[in-house]
Structure 1
Amino acid sequence: MSALEPTIALLAEMIAHPTVSDSGNRELVDVLAMRLRAEGARVRILPDASGTKANLLASLGPEGDGGLLLSGHLDVVPPGAGWTSDPFRLRRTGGRLYGRGTCDMKGFVAASVILLPQLAARGGPVHLALTHDEEVGCLGAQALSAQMAREGPRPAMAIIGEPTRMRVIEGHKGCFEYTTRFTGRDGHGSAPDRGINAAQAAARFAVRLDALASELREMRPQGVFDPPWSTISVGRVEAGVARNVIAGQAAVEWEMRPVSEAEARHVKHALGAHVEAEVAAHPGLGIETECFGEVAGLEPRRRNAARDLLLGVVGGAPGLVPFGTEAGIWQGLGLDAVLCGPGDIAQAHRPDEYLEESQLAACLDMLEALAART
């Protein structure tokens, strides 16, 4: 395929920019913006408050609403330990492209940048949205969608290129992430009644979360997702300084993956009642929950023009995935949204992350077919 080698070259350049979520992405945004402007795209760079990160929105074709949006994120998770090569230098071997972000999801972004002019040649509007901070709560996409709601453009369809092995995906659960912090009063462990034990309050909270998880399971014993029910998971508990000191501080990091907004509201109401009872029973105890992101799920819908369009190109049957993406945000803006991208989610966030060249080639085939079809 003529576009494959230029796409791999661009991917190598993108991997060399270590756009980990807790750092910046502006250098890569500027590189891509320059390239897209050279192709005639109307490019908007929308920085966050820090100025070190930005969303990029590029448009080709006629101005106004309608048309197709290709959506990807530029941030990656930290490389971590266990790599057998430099995670920020593309390694090409055995038909695989190794590097942090090759699969999740710079491969799709590179393919989209390369073929955006070809997609625009079909005559309708085509847009490319590249966001920051997807890995830490989809913060960039939420800001970008809000700005597009105010100022436009308002595309008709969105393809989010998360790794699905090029299968068309029409739904996933939401992802809500929180940290609940407990402030008590420390003291000597020999006199527990003289303090307020934040660790014990955190433990009771974690037990309540576990009970709510069981309730959610009973509320939806069957359904299309795997598992069918909304889930709650406690990821981290931190408390105290020593065994013989009453814990004055504690924190519970937890997440909820709701199938529906109604089930999310049920959990929030139940936890609100739990917190009120705790504070009443333990005067002086403080409990506050910080929300790190409430990303809506992608709701499978009977009518979805993006799904139907892609099924006509790649075939197969639409599916569901358990992981969260930005797709629900675009659906909330009024777009028909679908996931379809190269690579396997099993490779994301792992040491020696890789993208198969055959998957990248299939993505290019899909985009070229869209350019010819729509």
Structure 2
Amino acid sequence: MDRLEGAIDMLSRLVAFDTVSSKSNLPLIDFVEAYLREQEVRFVRAPNASGDKAALFVTIGPDADGGVLLSGHTDVVPVAGQAWSADPFTLRRDATRLYGRGAVDMKGFDAACLAMIPEFKAARLSRPIHILLSYDEETTCLGPLDVIARFGADLPRPSAVIVGEPTSMEVADAHKSVATYVTRVRGFEIHSANLHRGVSAVHVACKLVCELERLGEELRAAGDPSGRFDPPFSTIHVGVIHGGTARNIVAKDCEFQWEFRALPDAPPNFAYDRLENYCEELRRTTFVGFPDAGVETTIENQVPGLAPQPGSEAETLALRLAKRNATIAVPYATEAGQFQRAGVAAVVCGPGRIDQAHQPDEFIDIAELAACLEFLRGLAQQLRA
């Protein structure tokens, strides 16, 4: 079996595991560990606090700091409600494409890395190649943190990280941060005929949403000085809102979920801080005389952005291996920002097109998988003795 067919076979096996983020990834991790034992390479399992998920850190070559970490996640987005033409957890193949949930985001990259392990071993590496398989990327991007915290302690600290999210093998050196919030409004419930004696949580929530929309327009006007992002500005989006119990009851409660996607150099708490300032105005006006009324915003998750690091080892190496002359910026968040925050240079470069991610009949082009294998083959040559 040649290396490409080996990668396709590995992808078929990985896709067969239903690793939607709400479920355990341990059956997949068990399978990969069995494969790693056959390959006689070192690995460390890093379970989460509840023990139902785990990351896997693999080392090929010297057991030492330095080298390159290839980072991918094992979780996938749900298939419920999507119109798949066949079982999403059975890999299908036609002349040019491979179809299945996670085929492009991002088990294709994971499969390529695992399939290349025999070549990594044969290269007699002078600097290590590490592979990290994480969890919960699709929900929080917090899956790698336990492993990152162990860099330089009981796990080797890499010099560079390549996160294999789908970029069509372009090299991305920048992406936005993303912060997610839940804002809860407590009003004062009363019959709607006497609404002047109450506080509508729904009305207040609508004011807050309008304020966020106004802030979004302010960010749009400020634009993106770098001119690299699409859309070329930081964004605010309210995605879910729930409130009230009946048409003729002044609503006691309302909550909405929203997000802030910031350019890498933008203050990550800009939207939260500005909304809090607006809430202070409401406390001095709308809520006067209603001691139990108020607003509380909870930060659910914050994923750091990825800022350009021109000339870093990660950028220089990835551009050389991908045969590219320049980097790009991507609009979505990845785990790369977590590595950069920990002081390890990182870029995003992986097979497949991002517009296929999260779609029914998700696919990866076979040619993209082949290009990724060539990239990884070049990496082994760069790090060989």
Shift in Å, 1:267: 2.4
Quote the Cα distance in structure 1 between the aligned partners of 2:29 and 2:283: 47
> In structure 2, what is the Cα distance between the partners aligned to 1:73 and 1:185?
45
In 1, Cα distance between the equivalents of 2:99 and 2:224?
Answer: 40
CA contact (8 A) 2:97 2:366 kept: yes
Which TM-score applies when normalising by structure 2?
Answer: 0.92
Q: Is 1:290 aligned with 2:291?
A: no
Q: Secondary structure at the match of 1:233?
A: strand
Aligned to 2:58: 58
Is 1:315 the equivalent of 2:323? yes
Unaligned 5+ residue runs, structure 1? none
Sequence identity, in percent?
Answer: 41
* Structure-2 change in CA distance of 1:182 and 1:142 (3 Å): farther
**Pair 1:107–1:260, CA change in 2 (3 A):** closer
Deviations for 1:277-303, whole angstroms, at most 9, x for unmatched residues? 223431322322222321111111222
Q: Which residue is 1:202 aligned to? A: 205
**Cα distance in 2 for residues equivalent to 1:195 and 1:187:** 6
Written as runs of structure 1 = structure 2, the 5 A alignment for 1:336-355 is 336-355=345-364
CA distance in 2, matches of 1:77, 1:195: 42
Instruction: Check 1:231–1:88 CA distance in 2 against 1; reply closer, same or farther (3 A cut).
Output: same
Change in 2 beyond 3 A, CA 1:245/1:143:
farther
Q: Is this contact kept in 1: 2:229–2:330, CA < 8 A?
A: yes
Q: Secondary structure at the match of 1:363?
A: helix
**2:268 aligns to what SS in structure 1?**
helix
Output the amino acid matched with 1:139.
L
- Per the alignment, residue 112 of structure 1 pairs with 113
**Structure 1 pair 310–221 and aligned structure 2 pair: CA distance change class (3 A):** closer
Structure 2 residue ranges without an equivalent (≥5):
none
More moved, 46-55 vs 265-274: 265-274
Q: Any conservation in 2 of the 1:60–1:117 contact (CA below 8 Å)? A: no
> Does the 8 A contact of 2:190 with 2:197 survive in 1?
yes
Aligned-CA RMSD value: 1.8
Q: Aligned AA for 1:230?
A: S
Instruction: Please tell me whether residue 267 in structure 1 is matched to residue 276 in structure 2.
Output: no
Q: Secondary structure at the match of 1:170?
A: strand
Provide the rounded CA distance (Å) in 2 between the counterparts of 1:266 and 1:290.
15
Structure 1: distance between partners of 2:29 and 2:87 = 22
Question: Structure 1 or 2: larger helix share?
Answer: 1
Alpha-carbon distance in structure 2 between the residues aligned to 1:144 and 1:177: 23
Kept after mapping to 2: 8 A contact 1:231/1:258: yes
Alignment of 1:1-374 (within 5 A): 2-80=2-80, 81-120=82-121, 121-148=124-151, 151-220=154-223, 222-223=225-226, 224-260=228-264, 262-281=266-285, 282=287, 283=290, 284-316=292-324, 317-374=326-383
Question: Given that residues 175 and 264 in structure 2 are in contact (C-alpha distance below 8 angstroms), is that contact kept between their aligned partners in structure 1?
Answer: no
Distance 2:146 2:190 in 1: 44
CA distance in 1, matches of 2:150, 2:240: 34
Which amino acid counterpart does residue 330 of structure 2 have in structure 1?
Answer: V
Q: Decide whether the 8 Å contact of 1:136 with 1:293 is kept in 2.
A: no
**Contact preservation (8 Å) 1:149, 1:333:** no
The aligned length equals 374
